[in-house]
Structure 1
């Protein structure tokens, strides 16, 4: 599908984001459609979908829109055809590493929360099995 454009509805389906959310991310400058149709419809590419997926994955980990923007900017500059100067490249790589560490820490916190929630649910199930029936 490279080089082909998708309308916002298809992008919403593929990313599992609402149209409203995608439009909001456009308004905040996180993801811009690559083109517009003659009728003014937003048109997106695979690269746009990939950006939206980064945002979608960061959101439940508690990252802010500014943090999302910073990471996307860093990865854009690293992935662009222009090679950044070595010092700039090091700064960009450290930025990406920092977000990777923060994401891993948040995943660990979420695993702990999930384990506690599962323990709680199991405790309630066990308690219900001990209640005498009439």
Structure 2
């Protein structure tokens, strides 16, 4: 192995460890799943959509994994979280109140779990927020 190869391996390992450390340090948000506010996709059952619509694009969540036995410190109401934030505007037209892009920018920095109650037990679905411009 040449010195150049060794330096490339060291650089690759450094980048890998840095990216892993950044992901490990992400904060986690837990939201109680509200069937009236969050709807499962009709075509793709691994997608969730909000009752509130975004103004210029489509905001949705994709299920990534299912976990059990998590111990969240705080569980938030997703609808209250959205409607009390700067990403929701009560003065706009009824169908264009949510600033989906800015909400996506904010929540994309977090690990997000929806907490569902299935057969009397809590199920934690890790989801990833997505935004598509129409």
TM-score class, shorter-chain normalisation, is under 0.3
Structure number with greater Rg is 1
Higher relative contact order (CA 8 A, sep 6+): 2
Relative to its length, the structure with more helix (as a share) is 1
